[in-house]
Chains A and B, each alone.
Chain A
């Protein structure tokens, strides 16, 4: 359904060119959930925003292709792009507290996407909600609010975002995303700003949506644990580049890239035995000063001289497992 080829998004800054998304290739099958994992600032969010072509100034998509249902999004006219946003591709954001517009009622904000895309005029919606667009829209909004688990929807419809808790706000945002039955949902750390118990609820809500509507989801998270539990495939990103992509059990069970291995080791485990967690030493590199070679090399335990000089290609090591590391044998993609 979604195929990204060699996508690059750059930000010119005073300190130099930041390659926030560097030659990223990814694909998502219909109804699949893909986890995009990495530390903060590694380009995960920018990858999602590049798909929607909503890169903030002064960033720019400088190369690559993004095929959605066969056509390249990067070649679409602005109006065609707008028609896709919110209708076929919807996004859920990281911080629900600041993502709802504070001056509009929540019900109004959920209904807005329906109105922009003229959803209530469409045959499938008309059959279900009737011909009166105003009544149909409200009906649809209330149904969406119920679906995402907002209680007493009749009152909540007329409330403002500040009257909602963080978890409820994120549910409202998911309702906005779902309103036009999108085929692709881009979820940018949807649970990071929420309490752990609420996190689990929101994740299972996304899982339910995926199951019931067949919505493809790209879940961006910095939490490998969340990705492991929730996604069919995982892509690990480091400093703007993908370093390992594969099915969840393979990436978690037999990780090959030193960064993925390090990430897995640094997750604290709950067990009676006290194990020391092993952090990855060093810091995420400054993306503005990135020279050639593997960006992870300065922190890598198995680094070789060649790692600094060569641009390392992605290598296919089994059918669906790709790794970008000189230490891993395999043929280039």
Chain B
């Protein structure tokens, strides 16, 4: 039953994706700047015939509706086209850059949860304590501080002054990691390359912290307020009247309930982590999808932008679905 509902939701997502694809297609072509001009500008003096040849190669000489037709037809075959600039299939480029982005997103999520959930719980249980005030002030800071600024400050402190964490990239070349999945943490474990694993984690830390800080702040505040709400409920008094320890009351009876709203936020944040990290990837020179797309937009690399945006849309839709599915597990009152 549940599987049928999930499949139904997946099918509903298809027209959404199609709509996104068409909108991106038009917006890219509406925006000023011509890909051929931009490429030729870099090459120096070019004859009009050479420009025509390029335009023909990219099918930019065809009418708009034909371009759209070729794009959608390719999409249905699973072909996202070739990048104008990199001259490679878009699907391959996305596949090469996605693991870095996903790894960063997972890092950010882990850091956010590890920081936020305990802080949220303790702030609620010890409401009005110094710890509560300090962490809520910190959370306010975390929400307010823009990622690029925080990234730069972290680099300055931890890389430039203290030399604790690297400032740039995913791994130094010297480590010589053999890539299998593209997830460096997994690859280094698979190949037993422990120095690479240590280095990967070090490289991951600052960007993950930067990306996760805002979310950590949101989750901490959310957990705190829903925990405060839950701790006032009658079933908490019953739990105490049963003879449970305060720890069991908080962690078993209160937390399960308090996390219901938090879980939804967390699942939705996964979509944001994957799609909203262009700034963090740029600041930390992280070779992920975000940087690839920023570059592609600047060069009007239509197929690459379209392909990447479709992947983004897909992750958002899936994150939403995931949120709904997890929600049914944590809240018995809800069915899909």
Contact = CB atoms under 8 A, between A and B. Distances in A.
Contacts of B256: 101, 103-104
Interface string A84-100: 11110011010100111
Given A160-B332, A162-B333, A101 B241 contact: no
A102 B256 CA distance: 10
Nearest to A98: B234
A103 B334 CA distance: 11
Interface string B255-272: 011001000000000000
A98 B330 contact: no
A84 B243 contact: yes
Interface string B232-263: 01110111111111001000010011001000
Contacts of A117: 243
A100 B233 CA distance: 10
B237 A93 contact: yes
B181 interface: no
A52 interface: yes
Contact of B243 (A95, A98, A116, A162): A116
A82 B243 contact: yes
B242 A93 contact: no
A99 B235 CA distance: 4
B233 A90 contact: no
Contact of B234 (A90, A99, A103, A162): A99
Interface in A162-219: 162, 173, 176
A289 B234 CA distance: 28
B179 interface: no
A112 interface: yes
A100 B13 CA distance: 38
Contacts of B242: 85-86, 112-113, 116, 176
A162 B334 CA distance: 11
A83 B234 contact: no
A103 to B, nearest CB: 5
A141 to B, nearest CB: 14
A196 B6 CA distance: 44
Interface residues of B, number: 21
Contacts of B330: 103
Contact of A83 (B233, B237, B243, B331): B243
A172 to B, nearest CB: 11
Nearest to B332: A160
A183 to B, nearest CB: 14
Interface string B3-26: 000000000000000000000000
Given A103-B256, A103-B330, A162-B332, A86 B234 contact: no
A54 interface: yes
Contacts of A90: 241
Interface in B206-253: 233-235, 237-245, 248, 253
A90 B245 CA distance: 16
Contacts of A100: 235, 238
A112 B244 CA distance: 9
Contacts of B253: 101
B235 to A, nearest CB: 4
B244 A93 contact: no
Contacts of A54: 237, 240-241
B252 to A, nearest CB: 9
Given A84-B243, A85-B243, A160 B238 contact: no
A93 B332 contact: no
A101 B257 contact: yes
A101 B239 contact: yes
Contacts of A95: 234
Contacts of B233: 98
Interface in B251-305: 253, 256-257, 260
B1 to A, nearest CB: 17
A214 B18 CA distance: 71
B245 to A, nearest CB: 7
Contacts of A102: 235, 257, 331-333
A160 B330 CA distance: 12
B241 A91 contact: yes
A101 B235 contact: yes
B243 A113 contact: yes
Contacts of A113: 242-243
Interface in B183-220: none
Given A85-B241, A103-B330, A93 B257 contact: no
> A-B pairs with the 8 shortest C-beta distances?
A86-B243, A85-B243, A86-B242, A101-B235, A98-B234, A99-B234, A160-B332, A91-B241
Interface of A: 49, 52, 54, 56, 82-87, 90-91, 93, 95, 98-104, 112-113, 116-117, 160, 162, 173, 176
18 contacts: A49-B237, A52-B241, A56-B237, A82-B245, A86-B241, A87-B243, A93-B237, A98-B235, A99-B237, A101-B238, A102-B257, A102-B331, A102-B332, A103-B256, A103-B331, A104-B256, A113-B243, A116-B248
Given A91-B238, A116-B244, 17 more contacts: A85-B241, A85-B242, A85-B243, A86-B241, A86-B242, A87-B243, A93-B234, A95-B234, A99-B234, A99-B237, A101-B253, A101-B257, A102-B332, A103-B256, A103-B257, A103-B332, A104-B256
